[in-house]
Structure 1
């Protein structure tokens, strides 16, 4: 092959306060970087075939609530005015809660429920400001909740007075769950189902870490994040299994699981009993975004180029999950080029720069096997908090074995240099350096939506935790 492949790599961001509240018919302009790659070097360019978005998110929510994939409908669950807690995700997640809640509130009002609560599953993330709340929940929904006497609570993981101890999981995690969840008859969770480096998000994850106390979050994250069985597609791995066990202990009744495309639009929504609805939605997610790995027919790539899309990109802390997915298609000693503008997040209390929280890896830099061993020691000695470590520590582990180059905004370069992350503003420069590093015959793979995408062979929906040697995941 003597031609060139013209790659288009998504490189975009949105104010997280606008995510999930765009009109159903609006279009997000796709911002992209472009790169010409010699065809003889191209191993694979893997772009998903996404279905069309639903016409109306609120109508789709009404359909899902009335037609569960398993178990009773929401109307049936609320018969007799049973009490209910509704858990929604936080300001950094793109689930369009403001468009979904009208359908839920309709059912609560129709059932004559007098005891209802909505709580944001913040986990250990900073509390939502009034502006966050208005954007995430919606002013009309807030007014309606006030009329119905439905309070809006936020998770406060250090206030142990508001948590109920439910026991210890089979993996040894003490389960402290918010009393608003444990004291109601019906508990539903509304969130986005997607692949992540823990296995999958959504479903029971709205309970743990969403509405759990600090001790529960740290025990789960610290014990299981670095397990070789915790990886993309590991629904039955120890971390995700522990999460779902805590959700079951907490009485999670049903979940409303949302699939979003790479423009933040709803493409599917399922409601039903925990954990069946979540698993059904994940199966659908994998049909769209899991891919047949090119490594199966060839050796791993020398270079993998990853992009990010607007509904996920504001902090590299959230965007960079795809490093762990890319890990499975590029060889040890290879290069991961990760394009992420990471513009940062401005809140009412200050500004979080694009590489906020990634600076926690600085004491272990430059990446090395000795640094990784020291990191593991510090994790298990509880000398570092794994709420943040759950993301940067796995990225660090990849960096021990592979070279990471970050393509980002110029304002992030100084912080990247201080941390010790190789960064540039130019994809062309990053690619040229990688080709110089690996030679003219280097094989290149493209994962334009790495944070969503995962090799199909990692997808495991079996019921029991997996048992295999660590090198099987390399």
Structure 2
């Protein structure tokens, strides 16, 4: 069977013998009534757990809208027009609205990138800025010791509206909701404190209740209050098929429940070989982001198997500390030992990759130099087809295969 995997703005094609293929993990069939702009308008008209936004904000208030940066597929430009219309109905003037791109620990945008993310019309109407993690306000500390240090323009706003797309997150359970605040517009030290909770066994994809990372995030968002959220769920083609609005926890939970219906995949057994991609740009800009698909794939592979990770990574490894850990560690296992005694943001993803390497080999199909890939304990492959051929050569002609074309969004759950 011929399969295609997103690779940057292009594709990788691979032929998998049908007798070896256990399945292709694509989204479940789910009924939905509103898509695109209609879904956004419906969500704004039917908020969950709160009144309509136009009944919450007041004329003259300074309103900040926090949205995702370029490493996320959040379609900000598609969401903003209806949101601005809602604010306009409340009497809020454009000069009192600021769109803040939540960088977390990521790089700043160019003006062209900000313009593209916001959309030309929105960019010309309101201020569209990057959150500046060097200019923050200390608002308090969570019960788990995480400092709530928030980008000043967000902390000092009268109203905070948070946008996001909901997908699985390998230790926060799901993206979206209060993640726009923590880690979105927090300091690196605050993010590091929150993310250090990832070592807890309950901090895993698809879990909310009892997940210390998610609970810490949502506690931070009670200290830096979120007035309203607007989150979306995207299909495999990045189209909006569900939107939820309103209370930062209640609305988020409804979005997560919808995501489970769409992307939680029961599999009869784990496979010898897993082919996985983030689905292409922008999710595979670097290895730091592409790792999310790898972490989901680990739930589908047998011990001693091979994960074929397909991602452009055209911007390299993607984060300074992550790069240091990956390139300067003597071996993969040392990163696991190190994270237990010396948690560092960035290093946490290096350790996560190392944990997968304890279980399976990782063949990487990317635009990274082979020498770099080898130095970070992965096996470079020139194409997805070459990688699959090499995996069969290693594991035998009867090796079983699972394919995950949208690995960052798809969460396998083995029944045995």
Q: 1:356/1:85 Cα in 2 relative to 1: closer, same or farther (>3 Å)?
A: closer
What CA distance in whole angstroms lies between the structure 1 residues aligned with 2:331 and 2:382? 21
1:362 aligns to 2:327 (yes or no): yes
What CA distance in whole angstroms lies between the structure 2 residues aligned with 1:117 and 1:308? 31
What CA distance in whole angstroms lies between the structure 1 residues aligned with 2:46 and 2:188? 36
Counterpart in 1 of 2:100? Answer: 119
Within a 5 Å distance, the mapping from 1:111-260 to structure 2 comes to: 111-113=90-92, 115-145=96-126, 151-159=127-135, 162-163=136-137, 165-198=138-171, 199-221=173-195, 223-236=196-209, 237-260=211-234
Within a 5 Å distance, the mapping from 1:71-470 to structure 2 comes to: 71-79=50-58, 82-113=61-92, 115-145=96-126, 151-159=127-135, 162-163=136-137, 165-198=138-171, 199-221=173-195, 223-236=196-209, 237-295=211-269, 300-311=270-281, 312-342=283-313, 344=314, 352-353=315-316, 359-360=323-324, 361-368=326-333, 370-379=334-343, 385-386=344-345, 388-409=346-367, 411-456=368-413
Please state how far the C-alpha of 1:258 moved relative to its aligned partner.
0.9
Please state how far the C-alpha of 1:56 moved relative to its aligned partner.
6.9
Kept in 1: contact 2:39–2:241 (CA 8 A): no
User: Which consecutive residues of structure 2, in runs of 5 or more, have no partner in the other structure?
Assistant: none
What CA distance in whole angstroms lies between the structure 1 residues aligned with 2:134 and 2:214? 23
Q: 1:184/1:289 Cα in 2 relative to 1: closer, same or farther (>3 Å)?
A: same
The TM-score, its normalising length taken from structure 1, stands at: 0.79
What CA distance in whole angstroms lies between the structure 2 residues aligned with 1:245 and 1:398? 30
Give secondary structure in 1 for the equivalent of 2:109.
coil
What CA distance in whole angstroms lies between the structure 1 residues aligned with 2:221 and 2:316? 33
Q: 1:97/1:54 Cα in 2 relative to 1: closer, same or farther (>3 Å)?
A: farther
Please state how far the C-alpha of 1:138 moved relative to its aligned partner.
2.0
Please state how far the C-alpha of 1:285 moved relative to its aligned partner.
0.9
Please state how far the C-alpha of 1:269 moved relative to its aligned partner.
1.2
Cα RMSD of the aligned pairs, angstroms, is 2.6
Kept in 2: contact 1:364–1:375 (CA 8 A): no
Q: 1:428/1:132 Cα in 2 relative to 1: closer, same or farther (>3 Å)?
A: closer
The CA deviation string for residues 402-434 of structure 1, in whole angstroms up to 9 with x for no partner, is 21111223x532321333320111323322322
Give secondary structure in 2 for the equivalent of 1:11.
strand
Count of residues in correspondence between the two structures: 409
What CA distance in whole angstroms lies between the structure 2 residues aligned with 1:401 and 1:82? 53
Kept in 2: contact 1:46–1:446 (CA 8 A): yes
What CA distance in whole angstroms lies between the structure 2 residues aligned with 1:275 and 1:190? 13
User: Which consecutive residues of structure 1, in runs of 5 or more, have no partner in the other structure?
Assistant: 1-5, 15-29, 146-150, 345-351, 380-384, 459-473
Give secondary structure in 1 for the equivalent of 2:369.
helix
Counterpart in 2 of 1:470? Answer: none
Kept in 2: contact 1:122–1:155 (CA 8 A): yes
